[in-house]
Amino acid sequence: MYETTYHRPSSVDEAAALFAKGTESKYLAGGHTLIPVMKQRLASPSDVIDLGKIKDLVGVEVSADAVTIKAATTHYDVAGSGPVQKAIPALAHLASLIGDPAVRYRGTIGGSIANNDPAADYPAAVLALGATVKTNKRSIAADDFFKGLFSTALADGEIITTVSFPIPAKAGYSKFPHPASRFALTGVFVVRTKSGEVRVGATGASQNGVMRVPAIEAALKANWSASALDGIKIPTSGLMSDIQGSSDYRANLIKVMAQRAVTAAG
């Protein structure tokens, strides 16, 4: 990788100030997205600003209505959090499926959604649960946050501080892993909110990154059961196609993973 300057700020404000000083700064939390890219010399940040050691950015808070995860909380800590397991078990389950154990010790929710990899797991949960992404500047609704492949509503230098997930009536996540990378070849997160709304987020499938699946939402709204999706046909247009999954296969996986997620949600 190219030489860079590493910083370890102790507050969000200090991090933002350091970011502004650098000519081409990058934030790093767990580093499991940025460092591999830097190793390939595909990124050459002048300054790397480590958010992982900022105490205010680590931890989980659960209230009656929401699970709030601070941005630099690792996948391991979310997966193993008793309160998260109790409030939104599907979310803890999703965190337990990201990468591998060593990656889960380092990777963070903020890093994952800020990167918005089209095959990452977390975006499916953020979108389906209608989470709110809070930054050092504002709050962003999930529906406004993801802007396509590796692209989000975040402004340059903006720092995610928390992601707040409303606790749903029911939720489930089912993932078919890419055989090599173990990202999602397709992963589907299904939610029935306490007000009866149904939201479904699919990752790994669309050329534009995480997406909602209206056909499945409508069918599940009418009948919350796996069999309600038996006759559903997901259109292949806009879906990714590669050596591990053609678009028609991915369309099938969206349906099958949604069915399994509903079964898991109960």
Partner 1 sequence: MSTVKLTVNGKSVSADVEDRTLLVQLLRDHLNLTGTHVGCDTSQCGACVVHIDGRAVKSCTVLVGQANGANVTTIEGIAKGDELHPMQAAFRDNHGLQCGYCTPGMIMSAIDIVHRHGGKLDEATVRHELEGNICRCTGYHNIVKSVLDAAGRMKVAQAAE
Partner 2 sequence: MGVEGIGASVVRKEDRRFITGKGRYVDDIKLQGMTFAHFIRSPHAHAKVKSIDSSAAMKMPGVVGVLTGQQIIDDKVGNLICGWAITSKDGAPMKMGAWPAMAPETVRFVGQAVAVVIAETKNQAKDAAEAVVVNYEELPAAADIRAAIKPGAPQLHPEAPGNVIYDWAIGDEAAVKDAFSKAANVVSLELTNNRLVPNAMEPRAAIAEYNEAEEHFTLYTTSQNPHVARLVLSAFYNIAPEHKLRVIAPDVGGGFGSKIYIYPEEMVALWASKKVGRPVKWTGDRSEAFLTDAHGRDHITKAEMAFDKDNRILGLRVKTHANLGAYMSLFSSAVPTYLYATLLSGQYNIPAIHAEVITVYTNTVPVDAYRGAGRPEASFLVERLMETAARQLKVDPAELRRNNFITQFPHQTPVIMAYDIGDFGASLDVALKAIDYAGFPARKAKAKSEGKLRGIGFSCYIEACGIAPSKAVGSLGAGVGLWESAEVRVNPVGTIEVLTGSHSHGQGHETTFAQLISERLGVPISQVQIVHGDTDKVQFGMGTYGSRSLAVGGTAIIKAMEKVEAKGKKIAAHLLEASEGDIVIENGEFKVTGTDKSIALPMVALAAYTAHNLPDGMEPGLKETAFYDPTNFTFPAGAYICELEVDSSTGKTSFVNFVAADDFGRLINPMIVEGQVHGGLAQGIGQALLEGAVYDSSGQLVTASFMDYTMPRADDLPSFKLNHTPTLCPGNPLGVKGCGEAGAIGASAAVINAITDAIGNNKLEMPATPDRVWHAIHGNAA
Buried b (16+ CB within 10 A) or exposed e, 174-197: bbbbbeeeebbbbbbbbbbbeeee
Edge-first strand listing for the sheet containing 132-135: 60-62, 66-70, 160-166, 132-135, 139-141
Cβ proximity to partner 1: between 53 and 86 the closer is 53
Residue 176 site contact among partner 1, partner 2, none (CB < 5 to 8 Å, cut-off depends on kind)? partner 2
From the list 125, 176, 228, 258, which residue makes contact with partner 2 (rule: CB under 8 A)?
A: 176
Q: From the CB of 176, what's the least distance to partner 2, in Å?
A: 6
Rounded to the nearest angstrom, the gap between the alpha carbon of residue 184 and the centroid of all alpha carbons in its chain is 11
Q: Is 158 strand, coil or helix? A: coil
Cβ distance to partner 2 smaller for residue 256 or 264: 256
**What is the closest distance, in whole angstroms, from the C-beta atom of residue 70 to partner 2 in the complex?**
29
Span interacting with partner 2, options 71-79, 144-152, 215-223, 247-255, rule CB under 8 A: 247-255
Secondary structure of the chain: what % helix, strand, coil (to 5)?
35, 25, 40
Given partner 1, partner 2, none, residue 179, with its beta carbon under 5 to 8 Å by kind, binds partner 2
Which residues contact partner 2 (rule: CB under 8 A)?
1-3, 41, 176, 179-181, 243-246, 248-249, 252-253, 256
